Structure 1
Amino acid sequence: MRTPPELLVGTPGRYAREVFHQRHPTLIDRVAAAHPYSAAQRAALGALLDESLTGEIRPLPDDAPDLPDWAAWDRGHVGRPWADAPFLWAESYFYRRILDAVDYFRPGPWLGVDPFRPMKDAEFADPGLDGDFAWVAALGREPDAAGLATVVKAAVFGNRADISFRLQEPDGGDANAELLVDDTARLLTELAGGPGAVCLIADNGGREVMADLVLANWLLDTGLADRITLHVKPVPYYVSDATASDVDAAAARLGRPLDSRVAVRTHAFWCAPLDFGAMPADLRADLAGHRVVVAKGDLNYRRLVGDRDWDPTTPIRAAATDLGVPVVALRTCKSEVVVGLDPATVAGLDAAEPRWRVSGRHGMVQAR
């Protein structure tokens, strides 16, 4: 089977170009207003936006602590037009450059200050969260299909809460959201052989990581898992992506301390601009030590199957990276990359809803 081309930033009429030309200007305005940044920091944010819209990709400064990583991840894109870069690579590098613009890595008052923290805190402060998670109190402790379906669907559609997505699609993810693929039964089969370790690769903080913790707690409470490894980002990324501090905040908001059987880990690769085919050996070995890996969110889906112009009827096993362990992707559709659908479903969606791939109305529980 021919591997399709990567999605590029500058292709007219495609979602990647919308993200750079519609979402990113709003995002930069929000970041600039989030903290009392200096004139130089605000100018750096503005210059990054201008560069990303019309210019060539500039390198990181020589004192960047992760310069060796980015030198290895470059793939020849630095120095070329942003419009010619792969969407997955360019979007990741854009967020890394935001951290540089606001002095996140530089000694001084802004060292380690999350530029997206006020937006994240606002989500945790939402009084509606109490009602949104009231159902958790009624969860049973039997390892049955109905309970798993409840916590899995909550984890899928918690992904709609992505802050960066709502900057562009404020009405995305309505109450009529539906699953286009539902392999929850396959996940139960992978878990049913007795307690084992489950890996959860987190995506967003806020509501989503709260739902992820509900899923993790339920797996532990029912005995379907005896350990959970929760992988998060090492630094602030994609506005709302979960870091270790976001997990702590989510556990506090749920009113249940983080279970001692949940290990929170991170790895530099989670902020790499590459798909999972480039995963380093140490991280691949870590994941392979689990009974099943649950990959959360749209970005992890893009990295699992490759951010390419796939025909949506392509079988997932033909597209997804083999990580040496069963993988189940839980994602809300918020980008053009989709695989594993039947032709009739695709035809119906194309006719009824032209933006079905990016609207946030549809989800997938998809096993590789």
Structure 2
Amino acid sequence: MAVPCSLSAKFKGSFAYFTVKDRLPQILTRVIDTVHRNKSKFLEEYGEEGMEAEKKAIAAFSKLRNELQTDKAVLLLTDPLPDTELWNQYLEYQQTLLSAEEQPSWFTSPWLYVECYMYRRIHEGIVLSPPICSFDVFKEGKDESFFQSQQAISALCTFFQELAKEIKDRSEEQVKEAFFKLLQVSLWGNKCDLSISSGEDNSQKCSPLNSLAALQPCILVDDSECLWSILSHSRKTSNCKESVTRIDVVLDNAGFELVTDLVLADFLLTSKLATEIHFHGKCIPWFVSDTTKSDFRWTIQQLRAANHRWMSKCGNNWDGNLKKQVWVYHDHLFWTLPYEFCEMAQVAPDLYTELQKSDLVLFKGDLNYRKLTGDRKWDFTVPFSQALNRFHPAPLCSIRTLKADIQVGLKSGQGEQLTSSEPTWMTSGKYGVIQFSALA
């Protein structure tokens, strides 16, 4: 079994180490700046209490940044939220892996753990600063990314609505071609990740549809045919009223990527490749741009209100899908815990049982891939199903652009060749995978 890496072990001696090591303090600096810039808003809404809350939150974030930069010990959480005990139990578990004289610290603990822990501490800093305890420190960046992607969003909505008008008359092969195209749009939408850019603009400026052919060689693993095999069966049995095909989408980023996911989900219903879609998002602000319930609803309302025929039609249709409950949104605290997904059945059996109802689970993005595979230094040729470590509630697929130094399921020599020609291939976002694993 490959082992998880600490921040220092994972990147020491390489440019990537210093890049990633600096990224978290940069994110905290932007959080501090965001809270400070909203000082007048807090004063207007809450009076002097708001001013005191702003100071308290900034003090908490400054302390956190210092702990991170100076490799201090990881501390217990102190807020009253439902997941606090689970987080503190996980820290105690990390302690059992060390000698009695050692403490889990920022640079020596597993990188996936401390990165998630930082975002949970950011949320703690807000929660312990009433009355601003519902303030999303990342919302401004998420909203800005959405608005800066308007050209790409309008092009995608236009393409989809024109496709939807003719879907009943399309042949099986044409529907398959359209599915592959929208699946790839959803894949490349994953490039727009604000946690990788430390919150800087990373929006989609032009239509991704025009780039799909050029990007095709950058898909290192493409199991689209496996997905089609599952979904086309539903299309063929769609005349049976009792036939239900449920697709679950574990979301990643808000903004343009979320729109690509919603368009893909609408296509699955419209083409009768699925009868219901279940979305899974985060219950707290997470990894700068991850989708929360508020982001999900806000995005649909923005499209409904858009001064663009096809954008507003998409927004109205999606709002209708939610009301008809053919689209269902879920959030669960497990998605913002430090556990790998192979521990879901034990830690969150209710969520695991829910996913078992699905015919296919699509996991979007890099963080989900890291949690699927345990963020371990696997050999490139290790099968995806093996790296899942027995996590398999249903047939599943990872749709991800590579932004962390982990990848499995490659052909012999493929990873080594890429490393030789492009040393940053695993972190640049240039490459992607559509990687499937069936139930054993």
Counterpart Cα distance in 2 of 1:297 and 1:91: 16
Secondary structure class of the residue paired with 2:371: helix
Find the counterpart in structure 2 of residue 53 from structure 1: 69
Query: 1:89-122, CA deviations, whole angstroms, 9 ceiling, x for partnerless residues?
Result: 1111110001122x2x247331211110110111
- 2:91 pairs with 1:71: no
State yes or no: 1:300 paired with 2:365.
Answer: no
The CA distance in 2 between the partners of 1:158 and 1:39, in whole Å, is 37
Q: Percent identity?
A: 29
Contact 2:194 2:202 in 1 (8 A): no
Opposite residue 271 of structure 2, the aligned amino acid is T
Q: Residue by residue, what CA displacement relative to the aligned partner does 1:159-215 show, whole Å, maximum 9, x if unpaired? A: 110111123897899966421111011001111222501111101111111111011
Looking at structure 1, the residues matched to 146 and 64 of structure 2 have their Cα atoms a distance apart, in angstroms, of: 29
Kept after mapping to 2: 8 A contact 1:120/1:205: yes
Stretch moving more, 240-249 or 120-129? 120-129
| Residue aligning to 2:4 | 6
Structure-to-structure mapping, 1:264-343, within 5 angstroms: 264-279=329-344, 280-320=348-388, 321-343=390-412
Aligned 8 A contact 1:22 1:168 in 2? no
The 1-side partners of 2:15 and 2:361 are apart by 28
Question: Residues of 2 paired with 1:87 and 1:15: CA distance?
Answer: 16
Instruction: Give deviations 1:240-275, integer Å, cap 9, x for gaps.
Output: 100111111222334323213100001110001111
Do residues 214 (structure 1) and 263 (structure 2) align? yes
Name the CA distance, whole Å, in 2 between partners of 1:322 and 1:21.
Answer: 30
Conservation of the 8 A alpha-carbon contact between 2:141 and 2:199 = no
Comparing both structures, which one devotes a greater share of its residues to helix?
2
Post-superposition shift, 1:132? 4.8
Unaligned 5+ runs, structure 2: 40-53, 96-102, 235-243, 304-310
Whether 2:187 is the aligned partner of 1:156: answer yes
Preserved CA contact (<8 Å) 1:56 1:81: yes
CA contact (8 A) 2:398 2:436 kept: yes
Q: Is the 8 A contact 2:396 2:436 kept in 1?
A: yes
| CA apart distance, 1:65 | 4.4
3-state SS, counterpart of residue 164 of structure 1: coil
Contact 2:153 2:259 in 1 (8 A): no
Q: Which moved more, 1:340-349 or 1:294-303?
A: 340-349
Q: Which residue of 1 aligns with 2:49?
A: none
Q: CA–CA distance in 2 between the matches of 1:219 and 1:262? A: 11
Distance 2:405 2:162 in 1: 36
The equivalent residue for 2:241 is none
Q: What corresponds to 1:128 in structure 2?
A: 151
Distance 1:272 1:201, change over 3 A: same
Structure of larger gyration radius: 2
The residue number in structure 2 matching 1:350 is 419
Distance 1:199 1:236 in 2: 21
CA contact (8 A) 2:79 2:124 kept: no
Amino acid in the other structure paired with 1:136: F
Instruction: Assess, with a 3 A threshold, how the Cα gap between structure 1 residues 48 and 230 changes in structure 2: closer, same or farther.
Output: same
TM-aligned CA distance change 1:62 to 1:202, over 3 Å? closer
Which residue type is aligned with residue 138 of structure 1?
A: E
The answer to which of 253-262 and 23-32 deviates more is 253-262
Higher relative contact order (CA closer than 8 Å, sequence separation 6+)? 1
Q: Which residue, out of 116, 123, 127, partners 1:99? A: 123
* Residue 15 of structure 1, CA deviation: 8.2
From the superposition, tell whether residues 327 and 334 of structure 1 become closer, same or farther in structure 2 (CA, over 3 Å): same
Q: Residue type of the partner of 1:272?
A: L
Task: Indicate conservation of the 8 Å contact 1:292/1:326, yes or no.
Answer: yes
**Is residue 224 of structure 1 aligned with residue 273 of structure 2?**
yes
Give the paired residue count: 364
Mapped contact 1:287–1:293 kept (Cα < 8 A): yes
8 A contact 1:116–1:239 mirrored in 2: yes
State the shift of 1:282 in Å: 1.2
Q: Partners of 2:260 and 2:435 in 1: how far apart?
A: 18
Report the 3-state secondary structure (helix = DSSP H, G, I; strand = E; otherwise coil) of the residue aligned with 1:314.
Answer: coil
- State the TM-score, normalizing by the size of structure 1: 0.92
Aligned to 1:181: 221
Preserved CA contact (<8 Å) 2:193 2:202: no
- The gaps in structure 1 that reach 5 residues or longer are none
TM-score, with length taken from structure 2: 0.77
Conserved 8 A contact 1:197-1:292: yes
Alpha carbons of 1:45 and 1:157: their partners in 2 closer, same or farther (altered >3 Å)? Answer: same
Q: 2:198 aligns with which of 154, 157, 167?
A: 167
Q: Which moved more, 1:83-92 or 1:62-71?
A: 62-71
Q: Which moved more, 1:31-40 or 1:260-269?
A: 31-40
Letter in 2 for 1:283: L
